[in-house]
Structure 1
Amino acid sequence: MKNILISIDKLNEYDMFVSEVIDIVDNYVEKGWGVDIYTHTCKSSIKNIISNKNPANITFIAQDFTDFKEKYDALWVYRGYIPEKLSTYINEHHQDINVYFRHFYEYSDLYIPYGCDVENDSPGISIALSEVSQHSLEKKGIDSARIKVLPFCSNKQYFEYPSALKTGDIEKVLYIGSNFPSVMEDLLDELKNKNKSLNWLDTSEVENIYPEDICSYDVVICKEFMVPKVLTLGVPVFIFNENKFHGYINDSNFHESMRHHFSGDNLTAVADARLAWNVIAEELAETRIWTFNNKENLKKTFSFEKAVEEINCPADRTGKLSFTNKQVLALSIHAKSLTENEEKDYLLTDWLKEREISEARKRSLLEYASIFREQANIGIVIICDSTDEGSLALTIKSLRCMVGMPDTLYFLSEKEILPSVFSEYNLKAHLYNDINSIFEETNHNSLLFITAGDEVNSNALLLLFEYSIRHPEVLVCYFDELAINESKNDSLILKPDCNVDLLRSYPYIGRNLLINVNAAKTVRVAGSTYQKLTLLDLTWKLIEIKGPAILGRLPEVITKMCIGWDAWLNSEHIITENKRVVSEHLSRIGIQANITEGSLNFNQNIEYILPYHPLVSIIIITRDNFTLLNRCIESLLQNTRYLNYEIVIADNGSVDKDMLFFLEKVEAGIFSNISALRMNAEFNFSLIANQASREAKGEILLFLDNDTEIIQSQWLDVLLQQVMRPEVGLVGPRLEYYDGRIQHGGFILGVNDGVENVFDGYNSAEPGYLFYLNNVRNVSALSSSCLMIRKNVFDEVGGFSDDVFKFYYGDVDLALKLTQQGYLHIWTPYARVKHMGGGSRLFDKKFKVKACPDKEDIENLKSLWGEKLFSDSSYHPHMSKSGKLFTLSPRTARTQAALPGRPYPVVLANHINWFGCGNHRIIQPFKALEAHSQIEGGLNYGIAETLEVAQLQPDVILMELVTGPAIPELISEYRKVCSAKIIVEYDDFLINLPVKNDLKSRLPKNLIKNFRRVMESVDWVVVSTNTLAEAYSSYHDDIRVAHNRLAEHQWGHLKSEKLTGKKIRVGWAGGNSHRGDLDILKPIIKHFQNEVEWVFMGMKPDGVHCEYHPGVPFDLYPEKLASLNLDLALVPLEINFFNECKSNLRLLEIGTCGVPIIATDIEPYRCGLPVTLVSNKFKDWVSAIQEHINEKNWLEKRGDLLRNEIHQKWYLRESGLDEWRSAWLPK
């Protein structure tokens, strides 16, 4: 079988790349070839579509692995994507191969940043998209003899789909694109006005586009790669590109449009939707006939199979493929640049990588382990319910990488068997029903139980050990896990902390646990009773003896399950055994209850049996709004099955005639179980509720808003079942809007301003995070809109705090007071109540009630409860604190909690970018100090939120380049939640940028005022130079200098090659902010244009013939800079005070590559480095350059001298690192 390898950086959405790759795969698979696809990222659904074409012959090769075939007959390359792993494979195999370098029209396709020699030296062909792109490739330097044209094509799927000629007016229009711009919205409005429809097919959301998606439409608006597909169906195409309408493809423009790959560049464009619609409507009939009549000819023109045959003529273009070292480096940098530049969501893989603990933290934890030997003595038990050695091998493979792996492994199975994969370990095997014997014989302090097939984090034992010394009270520890989702990708299960009622509903703690051995010995485990949930049974028994505090969660990913989370929960064994485990648990503690099926397949509902039927006092606070109140009371009377209740109407000065009439009837005793209280003082919900509670006769209080409606007969029974439990404080139902959406599902603390009704607005069918909305669970606080509590418990804490929380947050305050006394709060989905959502507040002017809580309300809550509002046991600490909740937070991923005992200063270092000052002034100094065990804490991109600061509790908060007017207030908020020292970092004289600096126009007019206020708010300031420190000295009396230094891992290994060109290679590197500096060189460039090879990176001077390299992502910048192989670098700098304050960073970056430098004689460059300094006069620059190029043999020695000096004095180590430590930490 012949094989083809397709190399492409990404297949993430249905675009021209994915479309053509699908066609290539179809073409080669049909010929009986094997197809391998080598890609950096691939959307799982796209991968599935391609793989399913012929699973036996199609293989996706992950970027991190090199499982290439021994031999390929063809290589198809997109965007020049040949990473180092692939180029290494090619050079090692040096095989005969036909290579196709595919070019569309993007930057990588037309500018070929990896160099034309890569393609010109390779066998095979370079494939252009059209005649226009062919000319671009020739102009760039690709050998014209090797260029073939492969236009956008269609395929058999479209050719064979039946379609008919449409007639009549336009009814339906389809737009195909990856976004829906405003001008398309205008067209949508235009069509709506004419009772026509415009539908959008979003290519970023689909995996493929099929003929049936298109044929029902009168017109398709699209561009480029979709045009041939639509035309071969006989459907008219109207080109839309770059937010402009370009017109129909028809007989008059077809060939010219094809020359421009249907981009519309050859057509007149309009941005007016109304004009576009007029053209669409007026020219439809003629275009429709032309398109349909030419359908068969168009199929021949756009046949992918035929087009591939044509570019393969002559067929034999094979040859030996290999790359030079220089080409390998250029391709490697280009491949990295492609993948770094991808616009992508924050991926799970990114987060997992950022959560990995550093080598320094590992060292510290190992030192702790040598002190706390008992807690560090963790054994491992593998639970195996099958003899599948493949599953066991996965687990063993992960254990081999584990830090601190014990010598002895325990193996627990249903059969007496010792699999061969355990041959390297001292193995102790036990039968599953004899699990107790493991606890009896082991000398370990605790045991980590792992299910065979699951993989374990290499740092698992260190993380579990650290948790155990932080939480000695925890005897059963569970943790976060990865699982396999429906698309066969990893999904993350971030679990809540101990939640007894959620655990009774379903076993959310999972199947892999760390168990304290001594604790386990105190109870007998029913190993013979349960096949899957023996450890859950053990957990419940320990909770029953010692309380819920023995169950704790380590908020880190420890294991990766070999099956899906949902699949495990829905397995028959788990469902059946969980019911028995919970039933026996309740029986042991004397609780009478019925366990019924929950709203999901795997969860269950505990119906607690009432010991008696207490009187419930339903307190409704109201003023006027009789219609609302009447609906509430009528629904309550008609729909409530539980009969032992009274209704207490607490009226706050109603004047409405209907309301007064109703109250008079109540007071006259017409309603046997309704009473009324009149309170005419200023509205104070908490005060009225407290007074009403004192008048209430019931043992149970239920506070109910007047804009609620009862829709279930059993609602009161359900709430009572929970509130009668002695450990329960508050109970609340699922509150719903009238359209069924969730109005309240329990408050979450520690997000946004400190408290949030997070499920507000959720669709009625949404399960919520980890099925929260389908399960009874413990919550931190509940809404007073429908809130039940035992009267004696309410009185125990003094009811609502009516002096502070008159309307808002009284319910949260009440919940926190009760929590302080040890009570749990319950939210249940099995009681549902309709709630308008603040009906009384709609009349805020009339009732003098704020429509929503304001800053004063939340500040009152914060002042009383402080750190209680920093976190919530139901909300994971690694989730976002604001914005889209219940999502991974990239902001806290790179921070670690202080080690036990806080041995090092905890620094939270905020950086505003990943390059330049963000890299040199924040990221690298932090990493260097942390690696040398000088600090701990973490890095944060952007500006940390107050609750993120509260969670970390740093000793120092570092903020970079902050000047905004909101910063002083934010700093004030920081100081309320922690005692950290707050410092700011600047590396430029921001308050006076040069005229030619591109950033000058973006600075706010009130910059100096804001800057001064920031300076007054912080404890000290860190700057990059002594001159800058002097410039800022009037703004703060504690300014510290930390000079820019290079990170060894980024720069230390680099050295440019010398004299690689035909002439001396002289160059410059910089960005847009250096435009004025580059202007200094313009006459000099012209003077030496015939004597040297000019090389520029980042910016290219106009009208200059030179070798130009565009900027690259900063991670690739050091390598790219060194790869320029300059013989001489020029570093001009305009003479002005802004530049006087700058650092010598440019000298360090270029000089450490071993390149000699000529630079402007200005303060930052008078730093003692062996570089040549000149004035900015033309003759001085010319003289210095001439001297250097005349001494060709001395250039390398000059470069080496400079490189050695930088290595000795200007890296982040030794005294240089001490300077940074002194700058960042308190004196």
Structure 2
Amino acid sequence: DATLRSLAALQPPYAPREIHVLADAAPEPLPGLPQLRHVAATTLAAQAQAINALTATGSCSWLLCVEAGDVFTPAGLASTLLTVIDAPDLRAICTDELMRDDEGNLSALLRPDFNLDLLLSMPAGMARHWLFRREAFLDVGGFDPAFADAAEFNLLLRLIDAGGIEGFGHVHEPLLITPPQQIASKPSEQQSILCHLRHRGYEEARIEPTLPGCYRIHYGHRATPGVSIIIPTKNQFRLLLRCIDTLIEKTAYKNYEVLIVDNGSTEEDACTWLDGLEAMGNPQLRVIRYPQPFNYSAMNNLAAQHARGEYLVLLNNDTAILREDWLDAMLNHAQRPEVGAVGAKLLYPDGKIQHAGVVLGLRGPAEHPFIGESPDAPGYMYRLQVDQDYSAVTGACLMVRKSLYEEVGGLDEEVFKVSYNDVDLCLKIRTAGYLVVWTPHAVLLHEGSVSQAREDKAVMEKKALRFLGEQDAFYDKWLPVAAHDPAYNDNLTLSGPAFQVETNPPVAWNPLTWRPLPVAVAFAADQAGCGHYRIIQPAAAMRDFGLATADVCHRYLSPVEMERASPDTLVLQRQMTEDQIKLQKRVARFNKCFKVAELDDYLPQVPRKSAHHGTLPKDILKTMRKSLTLVDRFVVSTQGLAEMMQGMHPDIRVVENHLPLHWWADVKGERQTGRKPRVGWSGAAGHRGDLELIADVVEALSDEVEWVFFGMCPDKLKPFVHEIVQPVAIGDYPGRLASLNLDLAIAPLEDNTFNQCKSNLRLLEYGACGFPVVCSDVRPYQCDLPVTRVKPRFKEWTEAIRMHVNDLDAAAKAGDALREAIHRDWMLDEQYARFWLSQWMPD
């Protein structure tokens, strides 16, 4: 019933054309499901035969099998259907899933893209709820009734047999909510694997169940090819000796040679040992000298030229062999023709995980998942315990066919001398059409970064610069790949621990392969007034009116996050420090989208009496000029600000502040609620100089009105103020301002360069509450709003205030007129949101 109800809720074009229920008894008819049909089928084999017959005679293009009780998610089905419409080359598509336990708790099964070795190792996690293209399904004979309890898995393997591993898609969106999966080993799965392996020519292959539902495949290779193990080293005699001793003592596979690449060791014990080893002339244990500056890539490439083996193993000197079958386990995969590189499970000395594959884009260009976890832990989807394909594995222990190593150019000794050379190598191998396999059955110890702890600060700083350079080089070459690692899932975090669901994505999730709306990413400099009025609320209006996908960030996105977002435009608010410019330059280097700078105040001349004076960089004009060279457009809030910034950028646009509808449309204060007329002011620490303009006015009128100050109140004015209202969160500000129930609001403003560039925002806020306003007669307030403007003279201020409070009915009408003008011309409605978006987007 739950399954059918979830289907009944779907509207065309997302509703399925045919629904067939295979069961003993027919389900109760449901309104909205005229396409529902019942097929009597009691056994799994009978159901497989029935599905084959229905598919052969039906008219649908795609087939999906679900169990009773599985619930469709509307977003998942919509995303899946939009994918299949535009996927003529796909033969089958998998999706993600949610699982609900008996207590209603949900967990996510977020799969990687098609992963041959994970499919074979753990069918339960990878081989259910696939959509099959009808033609592909029928071409291989449909479901095999003999494998009915593993029908989808068996079918997938036959599709691979027929057409290789191409044509399998993945939608990164949960399609179904299912009960928790009961994972168990099945003879039908093992037999399906054996049939598949026989088809691929592995006549002596055998299957070893390791955990429930998990299998280790022994491919049964007969050949025993030579292996050249390359170990770069410098000094660190204790580590090197342990590596060599355990290698010789604990390696069961004997057809190997060891090539030690010495990078100019200077410590006596290491030099003596290496010299003695070299003098022995042992062809299985050779020393190669590399006296140049440390270059991990060049050292390995040099050794590869001297290697005699058919396969190479890149091995760090701070490793140690733990299990004697490690080389056999790696050769088990390396000898497969479709495999290009193989990585191992590496453990820290305390036994915790150091390496179990590499995830692209994780906390940088690439990072190890599962660091610090127990080696016996299952890992996400049992991925710590089963063979699988990754995009990359670490070069601390990596096996590769020598001919392929040479074909792809080995390690890049020019660009990646120390870091990311292993990841680059693996990606070159994948680009050449080969798989990169990680196996948990080759287990070694790896210290990791042992030498760095002993180096001085200057050396470490130089290394840090080199590391950043190699990071940037990696992004230059592989950023599109790193943003969507096929061995990971786009719903999993890139910023936190690997294989955890991203619960706070920096930008909105878009599972579609196309874009129905423009995409903007905007960086808000704060979450206070400027951030909200200039970035957060305009972006929200663009989203609410369906104009754009506009995401707001409060930190710079990493290159990988920016690549994932791939915005049409990037808006950067208030960029004024050298650190911000460095980040801007990185963004500009890796993302070619349209870039907009945004500014709300003339920061080079903050008033001396402002609390913000002295907090900004002294050379702010210089840094702002640098920042503006990195953007395509400069958007400011007022014409005055645009004039002051003239010459700073060739394309300056003015977008004036407007009030967000959901904050200001429905607020309105009450009138005449005090014993005396209530006259108020709202402001913060930055407005101290403005208040000093009217300090004597406040004192002089304190017996005639109830002064109400919202936010800041200088100590010298407190004796004359009737009510002081504490600041509130900005989302509560409109309602709290209206609740002051002012009969008159005042807006004093010093006449200085900074204020001449400001906007009329305070008038808009007062007016939205229905408060009449007396304000300074300065440029920001010299607009067409019906307010009373006065010069900075005591007499003008007192006369204007008394004029209003002595005729409260007239004051109320003035407030209504101001509110009407603001609602008509100054709200952030759809029309203005559309204009704002046009100024963020390229022409």
Q: For the superposition of Structure 1 and Structure 2, which TM-score range results when normalised by the shorter chain?
A: 0.7 to 0.9
1:474 corresponds to 2:90? yes
State the match for 1:910 in structure 2: 523
Partner of residue 555 from structure 2, selected from 942, 963, 967: 942
Matched ranges for 1:710-749 at <5 A? 710-749=321-360
Taking a change above 3 Å as real, the CA distance of residues 398 and 965 of structure 1, as seen in their structure-2 partners, is farther
State the match for 2:28 in structure 1: 419
Do the aligned partners of 1:1094 and 1:1106 also contact (CA within 8 Å) in 2?
Answer: yes
Between 1068-1077 and 716-725, report the one with greater CA deviation. Answer: 1068-1077
CA distance in 2, matches of 1:1176, 1:773: 73
Partner SS state of residue 221, structure 2: coil
CA distance in 1, matches of 2:492, 2:312: 36
1:1035 corresponds to 2:644? no
Partner of residue 629 from structure 2, selected from 999, 1013, 1016: 1016
Q: Which runs of 5+ in 2 are unaligned?
A: 42-46
State the match for 2:318 in structure 1: 707
For 2:27, give the aligned amino acid. Answer: L
Partner of residue 550 from structure 1, selected from 152, 159, 167: 167
Residue-by-residue CA offset, 1:728-771 (whole Å, 9 max, x unaligned)? 11111112222212222223222444233444444545554444
CA distance in 2, matches of 1:1170, 1:1138: 24
Partner SS state of residue 991, structure 1: helix
Residue-by-residue CA offset, 1:218-261 (whole Å, 9 max, x unaligned)? xxxxxxxxxxxxxxxxxxxxxxxxxxxxxxxxxxxxxxxxxxxx
The alpha-carbon deviation at position 827 of structure 1 amounts to 1.3
For 1:545, give the aligned amino acid. Answer: A
Partner of residue 537 from structure 2, selected from 897, 919, 924: 924
State the match for 2:44 in structure 1: none
1:1098 corresponds to 2:707? no
Do the aligned partners of 1:408 and 1:428 also contact (CA within 8 Å) in 2?
Answer: no
CA distance in 2, matches of 1:1139, 1:485: 60
Matched ranges for 1:378-417 at <5 A? 389=1, 391-392=2-3, 396=5, 400=9, 404-406=13-15, 410-417=19-26
Matched ranges for 1:101-250 at <5 A? none
Partner of residue 1209 from structure 1, selected from 820, 825, 828: 825
TM-score, reference length from structure 2: 0.87
1:952 corresponds to 2:565? yes
Matched ranges for 1:488-503 at <5 A? 488-503=104-119
Taking a change above 3 Å as real, the CA distance of residues 1112 and 528 of structure 1, as seen in their structure-2 partners, is farther
CA distance in 1, matches of 2:476, 2:94: 34
State the match for 1:971 in structure 2: 584
For 1:1020, give the aligned amino acid. Answer: R
Taking a change above 3 Å as real, the CA distance of residues 1173 and 937 of structure 1, as seen in their structure-2 partners, is closer
Do the aligned partners of 2:786 and 2:818 also contact (CA within 8 Å) in 1?
Answer: yes
Partner SS state of residue 938, structure 1: strand
CA distance in 1, matches of 2:729, 2:662: 17
CA distance in 1, matches of 2:435, 2:356: 16
CA distance in 1, matches of 2:382, 2:683: 52
The alpha-carbon deviation at position 727 of structure 1 amounts to 0.7
CA distance in 2, matches of 1:1175, 1:1138: 18
Partner SS state of residue 854, structure 1: helix
Taking a change above 3 Å as real, the CA distance of residues 1064 and 608 of structure 1, as seen in their structure-2 partners, is farther
For 1:505, give the aligned amino acid. Answer: S
CA distance in 1, matches of 2:115, 2:795: 78
The alpha-carbon deviation at position 667 of structure 1 amounts to 5.7
Do the aligned partners of 1:892 and 1:940 also contact (CA within 8 Å) in 2?
Answer: no
CA distance in 2, matches of 1:528, 1:1088: 94
Matched ranges for 1:806-825 at <5 A? 806-825=417-436
State the match for 1:516 in structure 2: 133
Residue-by-residue CA offset, 1:170-212 (whole Å, 9 max, x unaligned)? xxxxxxxxxxxxxxxxxxxxxxxxxxxxxxxxxxxxxxxxxxx
Between 458-467 and 786-795, report the one with greater CA deviation. Answer: 458-467
CA distance in 2, matches of 1:512, 1:1138: 63
State the match for 2:490 in structure 1: 877
State the match for 2:810 in structure 1: 1194
CA distance in 2, matches of 1:1059, 1:401: 55
Partner SS state of residue 701, structure 1: strand
CA distance in 1, matches of 2:777, 2:536: 30
Residue-by-residue CA offset, 1:838-879 (whole Å, 9 max, x unaligned)? 55667879xx99877523333444444454444422333344
Taking a change above 3 Å as real, the CA distance of residues 720 and 925 of structure 1, as seen in their structure-2 partners, is same
CA distance in 2, matches of 1:1123, 1:753: 48
Do the aligned partners of 1:408 and 1:425 also contact (CA within 8 Å) in 2?
Answer: no
Partner SS state of residue 659, structure 2: coil
The alpha-carbon deviation at position 1031 of structure 1 amounts to 1.3
The alpha-carbon deviation at position 1030 of structure 1 amounts to 1.0
CA distance in 2, matches of 1:401, 1:1194: 58
Do the aligned partners of 2:228 and 2:257 also contact (CA within 8 Å) in 1?
Answer: yes
For 1:416, give the aligned amino acid. Answer: A
Between 709-718 and 525-534, report the one with greater CA deviation. Answer: 525-534
Residue-by-residue CA offset, 1:641-694 (whole Å, 9 max, x unaligned)? 223333334445556666566567656768574344455555544334334334
Matched ranges for 1:769-848 at <5 A? 769-838=380-449
Partner SS state of residue 1204, structure 1: helix
Do the aligned partners of 2:144 and 2:154 also contact (CA within 8 Å) in 1?
Answer: no
The alpha-carbon deviation at position 788 of structure 1 amounts to 0.9
CA distance in 2, matches of 1:616, 1:1059: 93
CA distance in 2, matches of 1:851, 1:822: 34
The alpha-carbon deviation at position 1167 of structure 1 amounts to 1.4
CA distance in 2, matches of 1:1160, 1:532: 81
Partner of residue 769 from structure 2, selected from 1153, 1178, 1182: 1153
Taking a change above 3 Å as real, the CA distance of residues 1226 and 420 of structure 1, as seen in their structure-2 partners, is closer
Do the aligned partners of 2:246 and 2:320 also contact (CA within 8 Å) in 1?
Answer: yes
State the match for 2:602 in structure 1: 989
CA distance in 2, matches of 1:1017, 1:670: 60
CA distance in 2, matches of 1:438, 1:1079: 84
CA distance in 2, matches of 1:777, 1:1147: 63
Partner of residue 618 from structure 1, selected from 223, 229, 232: 229
Taking a change above 3 Å as real, the CA distance of residues 1199 and 589 of structure 1, as seen in their structure-2 partners, is farther
State the match for 1:139 in structure 2: none
The alpha-carbon deviation at position 786 of structure 1 amounts to 1.5
1:632 corresponds to 2:632? no
1:642 corresponds to 2:253? yes
CA distance in 2, matches of 1:415, 1:1098: 72
Partner SS state of residue 231, structure 2: strand
Matched ranges for 1:366-385 at <5 A? none
Residue-by-residue CA offset, 1:772-811 (whole Å, 9 max, x unaligned)? 3223221222222221112222232233334444444332
State the match for 2:209 in structure 1: 597
State the match for 1:42 in structure 2: none
- The structure whose RCO (Cα within 8 Å, separation 6+) is larger is 2
Taking a change above 3 Å as real, the CA distance of residues 704 and 407 of structure 1, as seen in their structure-2 partners, is closer
Between the aligned residues of both structures, percent identity stands at 34
Taking a change above 3 Å as real, the CA distance of residues 969 and 485 of structure 1, as seen in their structure-2 partners, is farther
CA distance in 2, matches of 1:450, 1:1000: 65
1:1225 corresponds to 2:834? no
The alpha-carbon deviation at position 1049 of structure 1 amounts to 3.6
Taking a change above 3 Å as real, the CA distance of residues 683 and 921 of structure 1, as seen in their structure-2 partners, is closer
The alpha-carbon deviation at position 1025 of structure 1 amounts to 0.3
Partner SS state of residue 874, structure 1: coil
Residue-by-residue CA offset, 1:361-384 (whole Å, 9 max, x unaligned)? xxxxxxxxxxxxxxxxxxxxxxxx
Do the aligned partners of 2:55 and 2:134 also contact (CA within 8 Å) in 1?
Answer: yes
The alpha-carbon deviation at position 1033 of structure 1 amounts to 1.5
CA distance in 2, matches of 1:1127, 1:1002: 36
CA distance in 1, matches of 2:657, 2:835: 10
Do the aligned partners of 1:891 and 1:941 also contact (CA within 8 Å) in 2?
Answer: no
How many residue pairs get matched?
Answer: 827
Taking a change above 3 Å as real, the CA distance of residues 397 and 875 of structure 1, as seen in their structure-2 partners, is closer
For 2:787, give the aligned amino acid. Answer: V
The alpha-carbon deviation at position 715 of structure 1 amounts to 1.0
CA distance in 2, matches of 1:944, 1:1221: 21
For 2:579, give the aligned amino acid. Answer: A
State the match for 2:611 in structure 1: 998
Do the aligned partners of 2:479 and 2:559 also contact (CA within 8 Å) in 1?
Answer: no
Partner SS state of residue 829, structure 1: strand
State the match for 1:1138 in structure 2: 754
Taking a change above 3 Å as real, the CA distance of residues 898 and 490 of structure 1, as seen in their structure-2 partners, is closer
Matched ranges for 1:315-354 at <5 A? none
Taking a change above 3 Å as real, the CA distance of residues 1064 and 652 of structure 1, as seen in their structure-2 partners, is closer
